[in-house]
Amino acid sequence: MKERLENQEELENNAEVDNELEADNNEDINVESEIPEPSSDVADDSSEDIAFENNDKENELNSMRKLKDENKKLTNEVEALKERLVRLTAEYENYRKRTAKEKEGIYTDACTDVLKEMIPVLDNLERAVAVDGSAEDIKTGIEMTIKGFKNSFEKLGVEEIDATGEFDPNYHQAVMHIEDENFGTNSIAEVFQKGYKRGEKIIRYTVVKVAN
């Protein structure tokens, strides 16, 4: 009888243990069911982060390519400007040498043209000095020489400045002033030295005395 009671108590104890284990299992199942699954928002955020990161890398690569292209373009422009500068410098140096040579040639040609007209006049003066004659003959020779000078001036386009009438500071140089009722206002009273011009270029001003 005693053994039967002990067996019954043992069975009841085992039943209670089984019930507790079953209850614990049910609680675990409930806890697992309560764990939330990852939301779609979290997944979307991760995808967006990856997309932004890819876009940033692509933008950075595009910027680097653009800078590289611009740098190459600027380098080519600088090289082109260098070549142009070297070419212009060489052209200017050639132009400077050429114009200097032409200027020297023009001056030489101008002097030659003048001397070609003056040398015959010198020849006449030398012949006049070498010939014996009277004062009248010498005067005639001098007059012929003066005529030769004037002919040479005419060929060269040189003309004597008119010294009649009123004083003109563009052509005349006044070195003396007088009051004389025989002359009008600002009139040339006397010529001390003749002046000459070629076109509008003054070779020498006429030196004069001005009245009133």
Please report, for the chain, the start and end positions of each structural domain, with discontinuous segments joined by +: 90-156, 159-212
Helices within 131-207 (DSSP H only): 135-156
Q: Do domains 90-156 and 159-212 have the same CATH topology?
A: no
- What secondary structure letter does DSSP report for 209? E
CA angle 118, 193, 136 (to 5 degrees): 65
Please provide residue 157's backbone torsions phi and psi, each rounded to the nearest 5 degrees: 80, 15
CATH 2.30.22.10: does it fit domain 159-212?
Answer: yes
Percent of the chain residues past pLDDT 70, beyond the cut: 75
pLDDT given for residue 45 in this prediction? 57
Q: Residues 151, 154, 156, 161: is their CA dihedral positive or negative?
A: positive
CATH 3.90.20.20: does it fit domain 90-156?
Answer: yes
- C-alpha 194/C-alpha 41 separation (Å) is 112
pLDDT digits (tens, 9 = 90+) for 29-80: 444 444 455 455 544 556 666 666 777 788 888 889 899 989 999 999 999 9
Taking 70 as the pLDDT cut, the residues of the chain under it are 1-52
Closest CA to 149 of 183, 118, 172: 118
With b meaning 16 or more CB within 10 Å and e meaning fewer, what string describes 95-130? eeeeeeeeeeeeeeeeeeeeeebeeebeebeeebee
pLDDT given for residue 167 in this prediction? 96
Which tokens sit at 25?
A: 């299992």
Asked whether 119 and 148 are in contact (CB, 8 A), the reply is: no
- C-alpha 180/C-alpha 209 separation (Å) is 11
pLDDT given for residue 2 in this prediction? 45
